[in-house]
Structure 1
Amino acid sequence: MRSVEQRRFVPLSFTMNAAVEPVDPTGTIDLAITGMTCASCVSRVEKVLSRIPGVTNASVNLATERAQVTGAAPDAATLIRAVVKAGYGATEIQPEAPPADHKSRDRRDLPHLVGAAVLTAPLLAGMVVPALMVPGWAQFALASVVQFWFGARFYRAGWNAARGLSGNMDLLVALGTSAAWGLSTWLWFRTGHAHGLYFESSALLITFVLTGKALEARARRGTVTAINALMRLRPATARVRRDGTESDVPIAAVRHGDLVVVRPGERIPVDGRIREGRAAIDASMLTGESLPVDHGVGDTVAAGAIDTDGHLVIETTAIGAETMLARIVRLVEDAQASKAPIQRLADRVSAVFVPVVLVLALVTVAGWLIAGATPSAAILNAVSVLVIACPCALGLATPTAIMVGTGMAARRGILIRDAAALERAHAVHVIAFDKTGTLTLGKPSLTRIVPADYLADVAALQSGSEHPLAEAVRTAAKGLTLPTVADFRTLPGLGVTATVGGRTLLLGNARLMAERGIALDALELDAEAMAAAGQTVSFLAEPGRALAVLGFSDTVKPSARAVVERLHKMGLRTVMLTGDGQGAADAVARQVGIDTVRAKILPADKAAAVAALRAGGQKVVAMVGDGVNDAPALAAADIGIAMGGGTDVAMETAGITLMRGDLALVADAIAVSRRTTAKIWQGLFWAFAYNVLGIPLAAFGYLSPLVAGGAMALSSVTVVGNALLLRRWRS
């Protein structure tokens, strides 16, 4: 059983070493479910699991054949017993388990399909060419083998559903084909004739359904290609250097701190930091980055990436389930197994669907008998109702689209936390951007300091800060002798303070100066000139007196303007939220084409600004950011989008994580959501259309059981095939 703490690190925290926190008393268990055939099965399994004491939520996915159960106390054995008692199979999915091997199950099912088709062929030939019709006893024998041997699976699953006071596709197939077989048997015993029987109908229905399930399974295998591709990135062994000797060991035997040797052309087996060598690293399968990126000593690398041209020695910092690759795999798995809010519509329908269909079948029989039809005609029309109403497509419409959409996004470096985030993103109307590191490169340079002789003091003051402006100051002050520093403190959203060379100094923005009552005096003109030039302005001061003013310039990302224009064409409004001064913020906004600017705001103000956008009549607001100060706004937005290379806390609060700092992925994420949501609605439309149109046609005698069976099989294949078209999407 995976605790919530273990799973909390899965999607979003991509650092190599994570601190251990107290374990949450609740947990999540993943189960592989077998025997489900339609949306009604999903509803049945969810109800069974939800009734277990301690379970707070049970979500079952038909396309992945997985169940996610959360809550306190329940263990896997208890959950499995409940599922088995309901008539389905269940096993616990271990965190490092490979994907289920559906091909082996398909190989077992193929002989049943072939056998049913071979025995049905003579019956079909007699229906098409009367001269080839086999005797009544032969029809009975052939149809009986198909009905009760190759169709036994429908009886078993249908009985389990009925025993649990539920219904599913198998129950409808079993009832419909049994009615056709029973009617034919009664007519044959009564008349002894080979003509006027319907054995071919029952046998063909079984064969049709088996064929449809085979095609559906084949199509569904295409929805897990992203997971399988990521799984194949895991090397089985690693070349480890211990005590000066290199040897190949299983990946499970690698320990933290081991030195792993990677040769040109090999996949990197662990997450780590380069200690020797230099190489261009191809991480396209992890980040979607199209070209290899040069890495050297001190740089971090991730398992699954390819060393294209150099000899590397890597110090291991994460292995197995801790690696970035493993976390990406589990994030995609969890997203594909989650249930979108739109799925609730299908769930509500499926919960009552089978009982309603059974009632409609009985009404059909009664209606035709009252109208003066023969019992044979009445029963055959009822069989058509039972068969065409199978709710397979209804249960597959949403999960298959979610699986393909999240998998496709992952291959392009867009990690979506769950189906709910994917569904919400399509309705975004406003996108709010942080400035530094999001719209800009986040690597500002110190452009000017007035007076210049305070540079050493500023550099000393910034020696303990991780802020991008601090790095710019330290770069500008290289070679200078710095005074001693003590009592360093960060003032969130304002600046920093410390004792430098024995005196207290402050460094921060104009708001900090105003709060401390420090007049800018002669520095104000220089500050205004810097702000007018689009520079970020900071002030150095001591209590009661301003000492210097600093101007910083940051470079706008090359793709920023094109991405903002693309978002505008998609009908979205753009907003920039930043703690920088109005002049610097306006300059960047003009360069990239941002609609609205909110400057000089603290982190808490960013969250309030997002809330104000939502309250202003906008339906859905997305926030794009990468820093610690963006986390409140990411959490406040309907959709938080964390940029690659950002901090863990930003990623922890985001619904979508971009694996690289390419702004084009923001527009791609919205486009993927829109395309996937469209496929979901298309799938639900076709699923409902088949039933809404098909059931009345069958009830009024316009569809024979054979046509109904073919239409039912085609509906599932159509829905899954339509979802697979998502794989053709290109940015």
Structure 2
Amino acid sequence: MTSLITYDLPISGMTCASCVGRVERALSKVAGVANVSINLASERARIEAPTGHMQQLVEAVTQAGYEVPSEQLDLALSGMTCSSCAGRIERVLAQQTGVLAVSVNFASERAHLHMLRGSDTQPLLQAVNRADYKASLISDPRTAEKTAATALRHERWILLLAIMLTLPLVVPMLAEPFGLHWMLPAWAQFALAAPVQFIVGARFYRAAWSALRARAGNMDQLVAIGTSAAFGLSLYQWAVTPAGSMPHLYFEASAVIITLILLGKYLESRAKRQTSSAIRALQALRPERALRLQEGAEQWVSLAELKLGDRVVVKPGERFPVDGQVIEGQSHADEALISGESLPQPKQPGDRVTAGAINGEGRLLIETTALGAETVLSRIIRLVEEAQAAKAPIQKLVDKVSQIFVPSVLLIALATLSGWLLYGAGIETALLNAVAVLVIACPCALGLATPTAIMAGTGVAARHGILIKDAEALEVAHAVTQVAFDKTGTLTAGSPRIAHLRAVDGDDAQLLQLAGALQRGSEHSLAKAVLDRCAEQHLTLAEVSHSKALAGRGIAGQMGERQLALGNQRLLDEQGLPATELAADALAWEAEGRTLSWLLVLAPQPRVLGLFAFGDTLKPGAAQAIAALTAQGIDSHLISGDNHGSVQAVADALGISAAHANVLPADKAAIINAMRKDGVVAMVGDGINDAPALAAADVGIAMGSGTDVAMHAAGITLMHGDPRLVADALDISRRTYNKIRQNLFWAFAYNLIGIPLAAAGLLNPMLAGAAMALSSVSVVSNALLLKTWKPKRSENP
């Protein structure tokens, strides 16, 4: 009979008794549920159901139209020695009350949990401790970093002790090729090897025993059994050898194996720290204090004391402590580590600044708009951490292999021992060959292959303004064959500019000057385009009186004796004025999808002065972005809700053959789904209306300059909205996925080649130990090569 437990589930969204009934019916339909009791006042449900039914219960509530409030939690772990340990902790945490999902990353030594909101964290820590590992809440990343650095230093001292004790055992063996034949007496070898085996190597025995109690297998069992066999064989040989004779001992083999494994683990730990260097670099950008201006006085305060709306002074060369808006001063901000933008950005009153960026040459006074976890920098760090904690789909296969790996190796070692004995070899030869099998077979490289590549890839991408939100997006992006772009705000600037202008009398400068005078003080986007062009040409604008808006048509004002107006085709038609020689231009520019505005004299004598055509301008780098994708063999599509003329004009300018115009947001998703029949599709957008298409695509890529909704729906975010980063994002995805495949190949190859060699007696235990240590180090080092990656535009400026 299946045992039942009581689940305490928070539920939000219930407003009345009928809601309670609906949720009760939904939960009762879940297989195995024996009893459901819901309290509307406390918004909680108590359900009796079999163990492991949490996910089904949450899904039932969600399908009924309500929500189970949840939160994310990260734990720092220690004591793991291979991917089998990570799998064991994952299984232990998954069984705890309130845990909806858990992912343990062996490389970063972190557990990322999705939990019911308000769940007690102490049982989680206790469960990990009962499994003979250590877990702690990550309250301050800087404290966690110091703890990791301290642990690495301790590991280094232990390694140095092992080397000092092992060297005297190895030197005689190294001297033999030079004709020097001498050996330490048995008691000296024992005195040197015993501390290495039982003090330095105690960690292997503890971890092996812990795994054995949990009926699990791990690397430590292989090391403990193998070195104990070599050490035990030496004790036996020493005991049975007649006095005065030199026994054939293997103390040096057991000591060297342990020392080499510790050396490999130390190098591996150092390399793993480098894979997370991007996170540490981002965390280091956050200042601990801010210079607050309050009642005319400046005072240094901790960030915890700041509130929204506080005014903060940032001096030249300092980092911005908070997100804010400049209210006084002018300067430049270096945002390279945050957005990947290499050039300092000008800052003046009204501009936004980001925490962590470096202020340039001027003193700025900013008003705080975001603090703590809500700053852009904190959100970037959170996204990168989540991506590095997540498991790529390919890792799930590796985890399954790791679970059966250790038991399989133990069986192979036993078969090796039995086979050599049956073959007629002595116990000494058979045992040493079995030890070699145990020692060379290490699941560490398998466990490190995927997460180290993901950590290195997502880290270097973040440095260049590419935020990869999850490992699945990284894995899928390498296979993209088609990219669909939204137009406005993605390939174009998203703000209108003057594309064409023509004066009837040929004086375009005067035409622009008159239009600018009419538009002074207007907040309309077309007015801004006119005023920007006037500013670029340094035109002086005359005063206009009696300015008034003409609803749905334009604007009018008095300039001297003339009454001027700037407006659309409707205004021209109302005045009954002919387009005359500008008619052909109007038709041509309208065909391009431009917005037309006519400058008219309304009095004393009505006439047309000239014509303006407004259009969105291409973003810098848009053409290079499409060319880079084409060079990678990727087809580009343009999908927009704008009219056919403007969409086709952008497509023609960029060389995009497939353009879709007048597309509604819901229809964008339909087009993406149709494209997916021909290959893997990435969608690039920046607006709320792009969210359905971003979600429908195999990979959604959002512009960081766009809306939060778009970034939430996308798997990849480009921080500063440069379309050239699309090709770069796909490139780093391909390179990362290639590293994963290379790492897995080498991890499997080491064992597929090494185990048969060891079983055949062609590999002694010390060489097997060296090969095992090298396997993990080589996998991590290969992943670290990703840190040299740079976007193409950086390589070829």
* Same fold (TM > 0.5): yes
CA positional deviation for 1:530 = 3.0
Q: Which runs of 5+ in 2 are unaligned?
A: 1-9, 13-65, 505-513, 535-540, 554-566, 570-579, 599-610, 792-797
Is residue 256 of structure 2 the alignment partner of residue 204 of structure 1?
yes
CA gap 1:639/1:550 in 2 versus in 1, 3 angstroms: farther
Q: Equivalent of 2:664, from 598, 602, 610?
A: 602
Identity %: 54
Is residue 430 of structure 2 the alignment partner of residue 383 of structure 1?
no
Aligned position for 1:272: 324
Aligned position for 1:504: none
Secondary structure at the aligned position of 1:441 is classed as: strand
Aligned position for 2:127: 82
CA positional deviation for 1:599 = 0.9
Deviations 1:30-59 (A, max 9, x none): 111111111111111111112224322110
Q: Equivalent of 2:417, from 365, 376, 386?
A: 365
CA positional deviation for 1:181 = 0.6
Secondary structure at the aligned position of 2:145 is classed as: coil
Secondary structure at the aligned position of 2:382 is classed as: helix
Aligned position for 2:280: 228
Is residue 188 of structure 2 the alignment partner of residue 138 of structure 1?
yes
Q: Equivalent of 1:696, from 745, 756, 762?
A: 756
CA gap 1:182/1:279 in 2 versus in 1, 3 angstroms: same
Q: Is the 8 A contact 2:311 2:366 kept in 1?
A: yes
Aligned position for 1:623: 683
Q: Equivalent of 1:44, from 84, 88, 106?
A: 88
CA positional deviation for 1:343 = 0.8
2: CA distance, partners of 1:586 / 1:322: 40
**1:109 alignment partner AA:** E
2: CA distance, partners of 1:571 / 1:585: 23
Aligned position for 2:594: 535
CA gap 1:694/1:538 in 2 versus in 1, 3 angstroms: farther
Q: Which runs of 5+ in 1 are unaligned?
A: 6-21, 486-495, 498-506, 510-521, 540-548
Q: Equivalent of 1:563, from 619, 625, 642?
A: 625
2: CA distance, partners of 1:696 / 1:445: 70
Q: Equivalent of 1:650, from 700, 710, 721?
A: 710
CA positional deviation for 1:144 = 1.4
CA gap 1:426/1:4 in 2 versus in 1, 3 angstroms: farther
CA positional deviation for 1:595 = 2.7
Aligned position for 2:649: 587
Secondary structure at the aligned position of 1:580 is classed as: coil
Aligned position for 1:542: none
Deviations 1:672-698 (A, max 9, x none): 101111111111111110011111111
Is residue 719 of structure 2 the alignment partner of residue 667 of structure 1?
no
Worse-matched range after superposition: 306-315 or 123-132: 123-132
Following superposition of structure 1 onto structure 2, how do residues 518-557 of structure 1 map, counting pairs within 5 Å?
529-535=588-594, 552-557=614-619
Secondary structure at the aligned position of 1:247 is classed as: strand
Aligned position for 1:168: 218
CA RMSD of the aligned region, Å? 3.4
CA positional deviation for 1:579 = 1.4
2: CA distance, partners of 1:410 / 1:393: 25
Aligned position for 1:114: 160
CA positional deviation for 1:131 = 3.4
Is residue 392 of structure 2 the alignment partner of residue 333 of structure 1?
no
Q: Is the 8 A contact 2:289 2:321 kept in 1?
A: yes
Q: Is the 8 A contact 1:627 1:646 kept in 2?
A: yes
**1:269 alignment partner AA:** P
Is residue 145 of structure 2 the alignment partner of residue 100 of structure 1?
yes
Q: Equivalent of 1:148, from 190, 198, 201?
A: 198
Following superposition of structure 1 onto structure 2, how do residues 684-723 of structure 1 map, counting pairs within 5 Å?
684-723=744-783
**2:233 alignment partner AA:** L
Following superposition of structure 1 onto structure 2, how do residues 241-260 of structure 1 map, counting pairs within 5 Å?
241-260=293-312
TM-score by length of 1: 0.85
Deviations 1:689-711 (A, max 9, x none): 00111111111111110110000
1: CA distance, partners of 2:439 / 2:141: 40
**1:339 alignment partner AA:** K
1: CA distance, partners of 2:129 / 2:592: 71
Deviations 1:235-262 (A, max 9, x none): 1211111111111112222221111011
**2:772 alignment partner AA:** M
2: CA distance, partners of 1:30 / 1:411: 23
CA positional deviation for 1:91 = 0.6
2: CA distance, partners of 1:402 / 1:120: 36
Worse-matched range after superposition: 439-448 or 108-117: 439-448
Q: Is the 8 A contact 1:414 1:665 kept in 2?
A: yes
CA gap 1:24/1:252 in 2 versus in 1, 3 angstroms: farther
2: CA distance, partners of 1:374 / 1:656: 61
Secondary structure at the aligned position of 2:368 is classed as: strand
Q: Is the 8 A contact 2:390 2:470 kept in 1?
A: yes
CA gap 1:131/1:645 in 2 versus in 1, 3 angstroms: same
Aligned position for 1:305: 357
Aligned position for 1:11: none
2: CA distance, partners of 1:424 / 1:175: 41
Deviations 1:503-525 (A, max 9, x none): xxxx999xxxxxxxxxxxx9999
Deviations 1:466-487 (A, max 9, x none): xx679759989997844598xx
Aligned position for 1:14: none
Aligned position for 2:208: 158
Q: Which has the higher contact order (CA 8 A, sep 6+)?
A: 1
Structure with larger Rg: 2
Q: Is the 8 A contact 1:388 1:711 kept in 2?
A: yes
Q: Is the 8 A contact 1:49 1:83 kept in 2?
A: yes
**2:594 alignment partner AA:** Q
2: CA distance, partners of 1:180 / 1:470: 85
1: CA distance, partners of 2:789 / 2:754: 32
Is residue 184 of structure 2 the alignment partner of residue 124 of structure 1?
no
1: CA distance, partners of 2:95 / 2:310: 47
CA positional deviation for 1:180 = 0.7
Deviations 1:589-633 (A, max 9, x none): 111111311111111111111111113x21x11111112221111
CA gap 1:95/1:57 in 2 versus in 1, 3 angstroms: farther
Q: Is the 8 A contact 2:141 2:283 kept in 1?
A: no
**1:535 alignment partner AA:** R
2: CA distance, partners of 1:103 / 1:473: 58
CA positional deviation for 1:141 = 2.3
CA positional deviation for 1:531 = 3.7
CA gap 1:317/1:666 in 2 versus in 1, 3 angstroms: same
Secondary structure at the aligned position of 1:438 is classed as: coil
2: CA distance, partners of 1:240 / 1:276: 14
**1:90 alignment partner AA:** A
CA positional deviation for 1:342 = 1.3
Aligned position for 1:501: none
1: CA distance, partners of 2:271 / 2:772: 16
1: CA distance, partners of 2:530 / 2:101: 51
1: CA distance, partners of 2:161 / 2:741: 37
**1:47 alignment partner AA:** R
Secondary structure at the aligned position of 1:267 is classed as: coil
CA gap 1:610/1:237 in 2 versus in 1, 3 angstroms: same
CA positional deviation for 1:421 = 1.2
Worse-matched range after superposition: 217-226 or 714-723: 217-226
Deviations 1:411-461 (A, max 9, x none): 1011110111111111111000111121112221366899x9xx99xx99x
Deviations 1:160-205 (A, max 9, x none): 1111100111111111101111111111111154331111111110
2: CA distance, partners of 1:77 / 1:404: 32
Aligned position for 1:545: none
1: CA distance, partners of 2:79 / 2:275: 19
**1:125 alignment partner AA:** V
1: CA distance, partners of 2:499 / 2:270: 61
1: CA distance, partners of 2:218 / 2:357: 45
1: CA distance, partners of 2:427 / 2:700: 62
CA positional deviation for 1:532 = 2.6
2: CA distance, partners of 1:132 / 1:420: 58
1: CA distance, partners of 2:98 / 2:298: 50
Worse-matched range after superposition: 89-98 or 689-698: 89-98
2: CA distance, partners of 1:390 / 1:123: 25
**1:105 alignment partner AA:** A
**2:633 alignment partner AA:** G
